Amino acid sequence: MRNLTELTDLIGKFEAIEPPLQGFIKSLHEKYRPLNEGVVSDYLPELAKANPDWFSICVVSADGKIYQAGDTDRLFTMQSISKPFVYGLALEDRGSEEVVRKIGVEPTGDPVNSILEHEELTEGRYNPMVNIGAIATTSLIAGSDPSERNRRLLEMFRRYVGREVSVDESTYISKKNKNNLHRAMAYMMLNFGTIAGNIEEILDLYCQQCSLMVNCRELAIMAATLANGGVNPITGERAIASQYVKNLLSVMYTCGMYDFSGQWAYRVGFPAKSGLAGAILGVVPRQMGIAVFSPPLGEHRKSERGVKVFEELAERFNLHVFHGVSQEVTVGRCERGFDRPPRRSDRAKLGNKTLSTPYLETEEERDRSGNGIHSPFQDFLEQLHQKYLPLRDGTPYLSEPDLVEINPDWFGICAVTVDGDVYAVGDYEQPFLIQSISKVFAYGMALSDRGRDYVLQKVDVEPTGDAYNSIVKVEESSKRPHNPMVNAGAIATTNLILGNSPAKRLNRVLEMYKRFIGHKVFVDTPTFVSEQHCGDRNWAISYLLRNFGMIEGSIGETLDLYLQQCSAIVNCRDLAVMGATLANNGINPMTGTRAIAAPYVRDFLSVMYTCGMYDFAGAWVYNVGFPAKSGVGGGIIAVVPGQMGIAVFSPPLDKRGNSVRGIKVFEELSQRFGLHIFDPTTSVDTFLQWMRETRT
C-alpha cells in the first residue's frame, strides 16, 4: 500500500532520478538483446514474420514522463492485450453488476484458448482474459449496429493511446479465416444462453480489436493511463471512469497472464497483460505504466525477454504491490542507495509505548477491546454486526454430528491495527477451529525452513478456480500441486516442515502460532481424532503426491500434523492479531515479537490474494481487494498491508466453504473505507491516519 502524498513526492523526483532510471532501462535492453531463447508465434502468418531481434522497453510515469530503450516506434498488433480495455468499455456500457453476472472473474489456471465444460460455462466460471470470456465481453459492447460498435471501440482506444488507431487488415483477415475455434466457443455460449446477438458480428469485432496497431511506447501510455486512475497522462483526457479502474486491474492481476498469472503475481506483483505478438503491458498503480515488446515467446507463450525485464524491474525498484509492507516503495530509492528510514512498525510501537522487549497487554488495555473504544470505525463495526446478525443463510461445517456445539448465531468482528489498537464487536472471544486458515502459516514455516526456491519446486502458486479439496489438481508437467491453499498443496507444504520427530514438528507449529498470536495455542483433540477417521480423500491426495515425488516420509505423520495444525483453537481476536502481524511486516504489534522473516511476508500476501478464497478468489479480489484466507470453522482472516488485520467469525458457510456473514462484512468494509489495493480514488495510509485521529 502506498501513501499518495509519498507517491506525489516520488513523481516530483523523477527529474532528479532520470539518469539512473533511464540508465537502468538501457542496461536491461543491452543485457537481454543478445538473448536467443523463445520462438516467434506462428499462430498467424503475420505474427510469424516478426524479427526475433525486435526488442523495446518503455516506462511512462503517471505524470507523463517517458523513459525508453530500443525501437519503441515499431508497430505491432495488440492481440490479447486489447481484452482488459474492451472489458472496461463493457463495464461502462453495462455496469459492473450486469457484466459480472454474465462473465465471471475467477482465474482458471488454464491456457488462453481452453474450451470449458458445460458446468463452467453455465456457472460463469471463466474470466474476460481467456478467449471465451473475451468473446463474451465483446458481445456486450453497446451500439445500434456493427459500424457504431466498431466506431465506439476505436474511440475508446484513441483515448488511451492519444491518437487514432487502425486495424492491420492482413492480420484481421488471417484471424477471421482462422476463427473456427473462436466460432465454436461463441456458438457453444449461444447454445447455453451465456451470450446473445449475431455471432459473426461479435467475432468480427473481436478480430478487429485484436488486430489494432500500436507501438511499445503507446502500450506504456495505456498502462500509465490505468496507473493514473483512468486519465491519459500525456493528453489529460479521461479514458475510463475511475470507478472501473480497480476492476480492470483486478482481473489483470489474477487472470491477465493466464496459466502464468500466479507466478507473475508472486514474482512481479502488479497487474499485467500479455499478447502473442510478443508484448507485455504492466501497471504499477498510482506510479507508472510499463511495456516491453519482443516477439520470441517462452514457456506459457509469454515474451521471453519481456518476462525477464519485468522481473528485474520489479526486483530492482521494489514494485511488487505487497513489497510496501516491508519497505518504502519508490523508484527513487535508487537515488538513495536503497536506504530507508526506520518505520514505526519496525520499532514495534503500541500506542505511545516504544517496545524494546516483548510486550504483553495489561488487563486494563485488554478492556479497551471491543465496546470500550469510541471511534467512527468502531461504530461502523457495530452497525455491520447489527445488520448481519439476523442473516440466516448458510450451513455450519461439522466433521462429525454432535461432536462439538456450534451456534449459528455466533458472530464476531475484530480489527487490529499495526499500532496495536483493537476494535471488536460481538463474539470475538468465542473459541473455534482455525481449519484451513492454518495453511497460510504452515506455508510460512515451510518457506522459513526450506527457502523460497525449494518450496516452489514442490508447490506452485497458480490459482485454479477450483474448490479447496479438489483431488486431481496437480500440474500436468511438473506434478506439483497448483498452490498451497488447496488441500493437495497444503499437505505438500506441511510435509516440508522440519523436526526430528512428530512431537517436535507439532511443537514447532504451536510455537509459530504463539509468535503470531501472542499466547499459547492448543489442539482440539476430539476434532483431530474425528478428522483422522474421516480423511480418506486426504490419504488419496497424499498417495498421489508421493507417487509424483512431491512428498516424502511417512504419510501418516504428515497427515497427522496437517490435521493438528487445522485443529488449533483460536478466536476472532487471535486471527485479527495474526493478520495485523502480517500487515506489520511480520512483527506482532501486541508483543513486539517477530513471527516471520520480513522477506517472506510478501509471499504470504501474494498467495492469500490470488488463492486464499479458493473458487471465490477472483470475486474476492474484484470486490474486496486485499489478501485473505477462509476456513470451514467460520473464520476469515484478512490483511490490509501496512495498516491492520481484520477477522470475522460466523459459522454458517456458503457453498464454497466461506462464512456468509464474513463475506458481507468484508465487502462493506472495503467499499465504505476504500480499502481495495487497486482503488485509485483512495489511500489506505490516510485511512489509518484517520483511525488514529478519530479514536478516543
Between the alpha carbon of residue 531 and those of residues 304, 400, 422, 473, the distances in Å are 46, 8, 34, 22
Q: What pLDDT is stored for residue 179 in this prediction? A: 78
- Same domain for 78 and 227, yes or no, is yes
Is the pLDDT at 578 greater than 50, yes or no?
yes
Is the pLDDT at 13 greater than 50, yes or no?
no
Q: What pLDDT is stored for residue 245 in this prediction? A: 97
**Domain closes at, from 284, 317, 350:** 317
Is the pLDDT at 505 greater than 90, yes or no?
yes
Q: What pLDDT is stored for residue 336 in this prediction? A: 32
Residue 684, judged by CB atoms within 10 A of its CB (0-12, 13-18, 19+), counts as buried
Answer yes or no: is 642 within a domain.
Answer: yes
- Same domain for 200 and 275, yes or no, is yes
**Do strands 349-350 and 353-354 pair parallel, antiparallel, or not at all (unpaired)?**
antiparallel
Is the pLDDT at 170 greater than 50, yes or no?
yes
Answer yes or no: is 303 within a domain.
Answer: yes
Band (467; pLDDT cuts 50, 70, 90) = low
- Name the more confident of 5 and 125: 125
Q: Give percent of the chain with pLDDT exceeding 70.
A: 85
- Same domain for 298 and 426, yes or no, is no
Q: What domain range includes position 169?
A: 22-317
Residue 513, annotated as binding a ligand: no
- Same domain for 37 and 116, yes or no, is yes
Nearest to 274 by CA among 56, 78, 85: 78
CB atoms within 10 A of CB 457: 11
Q: What pLDDT is stored for residue 370 in this prediction? A: 45
- Same domain for 451 and 565, yes or no, is yes
For residue 574, the one-letter residue type is D
Which range (13-22, 409-418, 568-577, 614-623) has the least confidence?
A: 13-22
Residue 538, annotated as binding a ligand: yes
Q: What pLDDT is stored for residue 465 in this prediction? A: 67
Q: What pLDDT is stored for residue 448 in this prediction? A: 97
- 550-576 average pLDDT score: 96
Q: What pLDDT is stored for residue 561 in this prediction? A: 97
- Name the more confident of 355 and 317: 317
Q: Give percent of the chain with pLDDT exceeding 90.
A: 72
| Mean of the per-residue pLDDT values of the chain | 87
**Strand ranges, E, within 270-420:** 272-274, 279-284, 288-293, 349-350, 353-354, 412-417
Q: What pLDDT is stored for residue 693 in this prediction? A: 83
d(CA 89, CA 11): 29
- Same domain for 65 and 147, yes or no, is yes
Digit-coded pLDDT (tens) for 180-230: 888 888 888 888 888 889 999 999 999 999 999 999 999 999 999 999 999
How many distinct structural domains can be found in the chain?
Answer: 2
- 383-390 average pLDDT score: 98
**Domain closes at, from 317, 334, 354:** 317
**Domain closes at, from 295, 317, 339:** 317
Which range (346-360, 630-644, 646-660) has the least confidence?
A: 346-360
Band (367; pLDDT cuts 50, 70, 90) = very low
Which range (122-131, 422-431, 479-488, 541-550) has the least confidence?
A: 122-131
User: DSSP characters for 513-577?
Assistant: HHHHHSS---B-HHHHHHHHTT-HHHHHHHHHHHHTTS--S-HHHHHHHHHHHHTBEE-HHHHHH
d(CA 439, CA 637): 12
**Four-residue CA torsion sign, 262, 267, 271, 277:** negative
Q: Which distant-in-sequence residues (6+ apart) come within 8 Å of 310 by Cβ?
A: 268, 272, 280, 282, 290, 292
Is the pLDDT at 356 greater than 50, yes or no?
no
d(CA 444, CA 423): 27
- Same domain for 300 and 443, yes or no, is no
Answer yes or no: is 536 within a domain.
Answer: yes
d(CA 120, CA 610): 19
Answer yes or no: is 13 within a domain.
Answer: no
Is residue 517 within 8 Å of 466, Cβ to Cβ?
no
- Same domain for 98 and 219, yes or no, is yes
Band (2; pLDDT cuts 50, 70, 90) = very low
CATH of the domain at 90: 3.40.710.10
Which range (407-411, 454-458, 537-541) has the least confidence?
A: 537-541
Q: What pLDDT is stored for residue 637 in this prediction? A: 98
Which range (117-126, 207-216, 359-368, 602-611) has the least confidence?
A: 359-368
Residue 359, annotated as binding a ligand: no
Digit-coded pLDDT (tens) for 276-310: 999 999 999 999 999 999 999 998 899 999 999 99
Band (625; pLDDT cuts 50, 70, 90) = very high
Q: Name the pTM for this structure.
A: 0.87
- 533-560 average pLDDT score: 91
Residue 588, annotated as binding a ligand: no
Answer yes or no: is 293 within a domain.
Answer: yes
- Same domain for 286 and 405, yes or no, is no
Band (507; pLDDT cuts 50, 70, 90) = very high
Answer yes or no: is 9 within a domain.
Answer: no
Q: What pLDDT is stored for residue 19 in this prediction? A: 56
d(CA 135, CA 202): 7
- 73-98 average pLDDT score: 97
- Name the more confident of 140 and 2: 140
Answer yes or no: is 1 within a domain.
Answer: no
Is the pLDDT at 352 greater than 60, yes or no?
no
Is residue 551 within 8 Å of 494, Cβ to Cβ?
no
Is residue 354 within 8 Å of 637, Cβ to Cβ?
no
Q: What pLDDT is stored for residue 18 in this prediction? A: 52
Q: Which distant-in-sequence residues (6+ apart) come within 8 Å of 112 by Cβ?
A: 80, 129, 130, 131, 258, 301
Residue 244, annotated as binding a ligand: no
- Same domain for 310 and 402, yes or no, is no
Is the pLDDT at 164 greater than 50, yes or no?
yes
- Same domain for 503 and 648, yes or no, is yes
Residue 131, annotated as binding a ligand: yes
Q: What pLDDT is stored for residue 687 in this prediction? A: 78
- 114-136 average pLDDT score: 71
Which cell goes with 531?
A: 478428522
Band (121; pLDDT cuts 50, 70, 90) = low
Q: Count of alpha carbons within 13 Å of 564, Cβ hemisphere only?
A: 21
Q: What pLDDT is stored for residue 519 in this prediction? A: 97
Residues in the chain: 696
- 59-70 average pLDDT score: 96
Residue 80, annotated as binding a ligand: yes
Answer yes or no: is 349 within a domain.
Answer: no
Q: What pLDDT is stored for residue 471 in this prediction? A: 55
Active site residues: 436, 439, 562, 614, 632
- Same domain for 402 and 285, yes or no, is no
